[in-house]
Amino acid sequence: MTVSLRAVLTVSGVLLLAACGTGAPSDPDSTARSTEGSAAADIATASASAPVVVELFQSQGCSSCPPANANVNAIAAQPEVLALSFGVTYWDKLGWADSFAKPEYTARQWEYARAAGRPNVATPQVIVNGNRAIVGSNAAELKRELAAAGSPKGGPALTIEGSSVKVGAGHGPASLVWLVRYDPEENQVAIRAGENGGRTLPHRNIVRQLVRLGNWTGTEASFALPEPAEPGLRTAVLVQRGLGGPITAAVKG
Protein backbone atom coordinates (compact mmCIF):
# COMPACT_ATOMS: atom_id res chain seq x y z
CA MET A 1 0.00 0.00 0.00
CA THR A 2 1.19 3.51 -0.74
CA VAL A 3 0.21 6.44 1.49
CA SER A 4 -1.82 7.89 -1.37
CA LEU A 5 -4.13 4.84 -1.54
CA ARG A 6 -7.64 5.72 -0.38
CA ALA A 7 -10.47 3.33 0.49
CA VAL A 8 -14.13 3.61 1.38
CA LEU A 9 -16.79 1.11 2.38
CA THR A 10 -20.17 1.63 0.76
CA VAL A 11 -23.50 1.11 2.54
CA SER A 12 -23.92 -2.16 0.61
CA GLY A 13 -20.58 -3.40 1.89
CA VAL A 14 -18.71 -3.25 -1.43
CA LEU A 15 -15.12 -2.06 -1.11
CA LEU A 16 -14.23 0.88 -3.36
CA LEU A 17 -11.15 3.11 -3.62
CA ALA A 18 -11.15 6.31 -1.46
CA ALA A 19 -10.12 7.36 2.29
CA CYS A 20 -6.82 6.45 3.99
CA GLY A 21 -6.69 2.94 2.68
CA THR A 22 -7.66 -0.52 3.81
CA GLY A 23 -6.18 -2.18 6.81
CA ALA A 24 -4.45 -5.54 6.98
CA PRO A 25 -6.06 -8.18 4.71
CA SER A 26 -6.49 -10.66 7.55
CA ASP A 27 -7.99 -10.44 11.05
CA PRO A 28 -5.75 -9.14 13.85
CA ASP A 29 -4.86 -11.32 16.81
CA SER A 30 -7.59 -11.70 19.41
CA THR A 31 -7.42 -8.88 21.95
CA ALA A 32 -8.88 -8.80 25.44
CA ARG A 33 -11.45 -6.12 26.11
CA SER A 34 -10.64 -3.45 28.66
CA THR A 35 -12.10 -4.18 32.06
CA GLU A 36 -11.82 -0.63 33.26
CA GLY A 37 -14.81 1.69 33.65
CA SER A 38 -16.54 4.17 35.93
CA ALA A 39 -19.72 4.69 37.93
CA ALA A 40 -22.50 6.91 36.64
CA ALA A 41 -23.84 9.44 39.12
CA ASP A 42 -27.12 10.22 37.37
CA ILE A 43 -30.10 8.10 36.39
CA ALA A 44 -30.72 7.64 32.67
CA THR A 45 -33.24 5.39 30.94
CA ALA A 46 -33.34 4.15 27.35
CA SER A 47 -36.65 4.90 25.64
CA ALA A 48 -38.11 5.59 22.24
CA SER A 49 -35.89 8.68 22.21
CA ALA A 50 -32.69 6.70 22.88
CA PRO A 51 -29.73 8.28 21.08
CA VAL A 52 -28.70 7.16 17.63
CA VAL A 53 -25.27 5.56 18.00
CA VAL A 54 -22.54 6.94 15.74
CA GLU A 55 -19.20 5.10 15.88
CA LEU A 56 -16.32 6.75 14.06
CA PHE A 57 -13.22 4.67 13.34
CA GLN A 58 -10.33 7.00 12.64
CA SER A 59 -6.61 7.49 13.06
CA GLN A 60 -4.49 10.56 13.71
CA GLY A 61 -2.08 9.13 11.13
CA CYS A 62 -4.64 9.20 8.30
CA SER A 63 -4.78 12.34 6.18
CA SER A 64 -8.43 11.68 5.26
CA CYS A 65 -9.63 11.53 8.86
CA PRO A 66 -9.66 15.21 9.97
CA PRO A 67 -12.85 16.04 8.01
CA ALA A 68 -14.56 13.03 9.56
CA ASN A 69 -13.41 14.13 13.02
CA ALA A 70 -14.89 17.56 12.34
CA ASN A 71 -18.22 16.04 11.26
CA VAL A 72 -18.48 13.94 14.41
CA ASN A 73 -17.31 16.81 16.61
CA ALA A 74 -20.15 18.92 15.18
CA ILE A 75 -22.83 16.47 16.38
CA ALA A 76 -21.13 15.29 19.60
CA ALA A 77 -23.14 17.56 21.91
CA GLN A 78 -26.56 16.75 20.45
CA PRO A 79 -28.71 14.95 23.05
CA GLU A 80 -30.29 12.69 20.44
CA VAL A 81 -26.86 11.43 19.29
CA LEU A 82 -24.29 9.23 21.00
CA ALA A 83 -21.13 10.02 19.03
CA LEU A 84 -18.14 7.80 19.80
CA SER A 85 -14.69 8.22 18.29
CA PHE A 86 -12.55 5.07 18.23
CA GLY A 87 -8.84 5.43 17.48
CA VAL A 88 -7.52 2.45 15.49
CA THR A 89 -3.96 1.18 15.39
CA TYR A 90 -3.33 -0.03 11.85
CA TRP A 91 -2.17 3.35 10.49
CA ASP A 92 0.40 3.82 13.24
CA LYS A 93 2.85 2.38 10.70
CA LEU A 94 2.55 5.56 8.61
CA GLY A 95 4.83 7.41 11.03
CA TRP A 96 2.56 8.61 13.83
CA ALA A 97 1.11 6.40 16.58
CA ASP A 98 -2.43 7.52 17.40
CA SER A 99 -2.43 8.74 21.00
CA PHE A 100 -5.93 7.36 21.74
CA ALA A 101 -5.87 4.12 19.75
CA LYS A 102 -6.18 0.67 21.35
CA PRO A 103 -6.06 -2.79 19.80
CA GLU A 104 -9.56 -3.55 21.12
CA TYR A 105 -10.96 -0.64 19.10
CA THR A 106 -9.33 -2.01 15.96
CA ALA A 107 -10.82 -5.39 16.86
CA ARG A 108 -14.28 -3.82 17.13
CA GLN A 109 -14.03 -2.44 13.61
CA TRP A 110 -12.96 -5.87 12.38
CA GLU A 111 -16.03 -7.37 14.09
CA TYR A 112 -18.23 -5.09 11.99
CA ALA A 113 -16.30 -6.00 8.85
CA ARG A 114 -16.61 -9.74 9.45
CA ALA A 115 -20.33 -9.50 10.28
CA ALA A 116 -20.95 -7.65 6.99
CA GLY A 117 -18.71 -9.93 4.93
CA ARG A 118 -16.16 -7.22 4.21
CA PRO A 119 -12.56 -8.46 3.72
CA ASN A 120 -10.90 -5.26 4.93
CA VAL A 121 -11.26 -2.28 7.24
CA ALA A 122 -10.72 1.37 6.32
CA THR A 123 -10.73 4.88 7.72
CA PRO A 124 -12.55 7.15 8.15
CA GLN A 125 -15.56 4.92 8.63
CA VAL A 126 -18.80 5.58 10.52
CA ILE A 127 -21.10 2.79 11.68
CA VAL A 128 -24.62 3.91 12.62
CA ASN A 129 -26.55 1.84 15.16
CA GLY A 130 -24.24 -1.09 14.40
CA ASN A 131 -25.80 -1.41 10.95
CA ARG A 132 -24.85 1.02 8.23
CA ALA A 133 -21.29 1.75 7.15
CA ILE A 134 -20.68 5.15 5.57
CA VAL A 135 -17.76 7.48 4.87
CA GLY A 136 -17.29 9.69 7.90
CA SER A 137 -15.91 12.59 5.88
CA ASN A 138 -19.16 12.95 3.90
CA ALA A 139 -21.20 15.36 6.05
CA ALA A 140 -24.29 15.22 3.83
CA GLU A 141 -24.38 11.43 3.87
CA LEU A 142 -23.91 11.39 7.64
CA LYS A 143 -26.82 13.80 8.11
CA ARG A 144 -29.07 11.71 5.87
CA GLU A 145 -28.13 8.49 7.64
CA LEU A 146 -28.80 9.91 11.10
CA ALA A 147 -32.24 11.08 10.01
CA ALA A 148 -33.06 7.71 8.44
CA ALA A 149 -31.71 5.55 11.27
CA GLY A 150 -33.27 7.20 14.31
CA SER A 151 -33.10 5.54 17.72
CA PRO A 152 -31.89 1.94 18.08
CA LYS A 153 -34.85 -0.42 17.90
CA GLY A 154 -35.87 -3.85 19.13
CA GLY A 155 -33.90 -3.94 22.37
CA PRO A 156 -34.69 -3.77 26.08
CA ALA A 157 -35.09 -0.73 28.29
CA LEU A 158 -31.85 0.41 29.92
CA THR A 159 -31.59 2.28 33.20
CA ILE A 160 -28.33 3.56 34.67
CA GLU A 161 -28.55 4.10 38.41
CA GLY A 162 -25.38 5.00 40.24
CA SER A 163 -22.90 2.14 39.83
CA SER A 164 -25.15 -0.30 37.98
CA VAL A 165 -27.24 -0.64 34.84
CA LYS A 166 -30.57 -2.43 34.73
CA VAL A 167 -31.62 -4.19 31.54
CA GLY A 168 -35.34 -4.80 31.19
CA ALA A 169 -37.08 -7.96 30.04
CA GLY A 170 -37.98 -8.35 26.39
CA HIS A 171 -37.99 -10.52 23.31
CA GLY A 172 -35.21 -11.08 20.85
CA PRO A 173 -31.98 -13.01 20.45
CA ALA A 174 -29.26 -13.10 23.08
CA SER A 175 -27.24 -9.89 23.03
CA LEU A 176 -24.06 -8.37 24.41
CA VAL A 177 -24.12 -5.54 26.95
CA TRP A 178 -21.30 -3.00 26.59
CA LEU A 179 -20.11 -0.20 28.81
CA VAL A 180 -18.46 2.66 26.92
CA ARG A 181 -16.56 5.44 28.62
CA TYR A 182 -15.67 8.51 26.55
CA ASP A 183 -14.17 11.96 27.04
CA PRO A 184 -16.72 14.68 26.18
CA GLU A 185 -14.13 17.47 26.25
CA GLU A 186 -12.39 18.70 23.12
CA ASN A 187 -8.81 17.46 22.98
CA GLN A 188 -6.39 19.38 20.78
CA VAL A 189 -3.67 16.99 19.61
CA ALA A 190 -0.48 18.23 17.98
CA ILE A 191 0.58 15.75 15.31
CA ARG A 192 4.34 15.81 14.82
CA ALA A 193 4.87 13.20 12.11
CA GLY A 194 3.12 11.14 9.44
CA GLU A 195 0.48 12.25 6.95
CA ASN A 196 -0.91 14.90 9.31
CA GLY A 197 2.46 16.05 10.62
CA GLY A 198 2.48 19.73 11.64
CA ARG A 199 -1.29 19.90 12.21
CA THR A 200 -3.19 20.25 15.47
CA LEU A 201 -6.38 18.19 15.34
CA PRO A 202 -9.42 18.59 17.62
CA HIS A 203 -11.01 15.41 19.00
CA ARG A 204 -14.27 14.99 20.93
CA ASN A 205 -16.01 12.00 22.51
CA ILE A 206 -12.86 9.92 22.30
CA VAL A 207 -13.53 6.42 23.64
CA ARG A 208 -11.21 5.66 26.53
CA GLN A 209 -12.71 2.38 27.77
CA LEU A 210 -14.78 -0.38 26.24
CA VAL A 211 -16.00 -3.04 28.68
CA ARG A 212 -18.11 -6.08 27.92
CA LEU A 213 -20.42 -6.31 30.93
CA GLY A 214 -22.11 -9.58 30.01
CA ASN A 215 -24.99 -11.10 28.06
CA TRP A 216 -28.69 -10.31 27.94
CA THR A 217 -30.96 -13.27 27.18
CA GLY A 218 -34.40 -11.66 27.41
CA THR A 219 -34.90 -11.70 31.16
CA GLU A 220 -34.42 -8.68 33.40
CA ALA A 221 -30.78 -8.30 34.46
CA SER A 222 -28.49 -5.95 36.33
CA PHE A 223 -24.77 -5.33 35.76
CA ALA A 224 -22.29 -3.54 38.00
CA LEU A 225 -20.38 -0.67 36.42
CA PRO A 226 -16.65 -0.65 37.26
CA GLU A 227 -15.09 2.36 38.92
CA PRO A 228 -13.58 5.00 36.63
CA ALA A 229 -9.96 4.68 35.57
CA GLU A 230 -9.74 8.46 35.12
CA PRO A 231 -11.93 11.45 36.01
CA GLY A 232 -14.23 13.33 33.67
CA LEU A 233 -15.42 10.47 31.48
CA ARG A 234 -19.05 10.11 30.37
CA THR A 235 -20.92 6.80 30.47
CA ALA A 236 -22.94 4.98 27.85
CA VAL A 237 -24.37 1.46 27.73
CA LEU A 238 -25.15 -0.42 24.53
CA VAL A 239 -27.05 -3.64 23.81
CA GLN A 240 -25.78 -5.34 20.65
CA ARG A 241 -26.85 -8.54 18.88
CA GLY A 242 -23.50 -10.28 18.86
CA LEU A 243 -20.06 -9.10 17.78
CA GLY A 244 -20.50 -6.71 14.88
CA GLY A 245 -24.27 -6.97 15.07
CA PRO A 246 -26.92 -4.24 15.20
CA ILE A 247 -27.26 -2.09 18.31
CA THR A 248 -30.80 -2.45 19.63
CA ALA A 249 -30.66 -0.23 22.73
CA ALA A 250 -28.49 2.60 24.01
CA VAL A 251 -28.45 5.01 26.92
CA LYS A 252 -26.20 7.87 27.97
CA GLY A 253 -25.48 8.40 31.65
pLDDT, one tens digit per residue, over 238-251 is 999 999 999 999 99
**Residue 47 has what pLDDT?**
57
pTM: predicted TM-score of the whole model, two decimal places: 0.85
Q: Where are the alpha helices (DSSP H) in 95-241?
A: 103-116, 139-149
Q: How far apart are CA 28 and CA 94, in angstroms?
A: 18
Q: What is the greatest pairwise CA distance in the chain?
A: 53
Mean pLDDT of 217-225: 97
Q: How confident is the model at residue 26 (pLDDT cuts 50, 70, 90)?
A: very low
pLDDT, one tens digit per residue, over 98-143 is 999 999 999 999 999 999 999 999 999 999 999 999 999 999 999 9
The secondary structure of residue 20, as a DSSP letter, is S
Helix pair angle (139-149, 65-75), 10° resolution: 40
**Residue 2 has what pLDDT?**
24
What percentage of the chain's residues is helix, strand, coil (to nearest 5)?
A: 15, 35, 50
**How far does Cα 51 stand from its chain's mean position?**
13
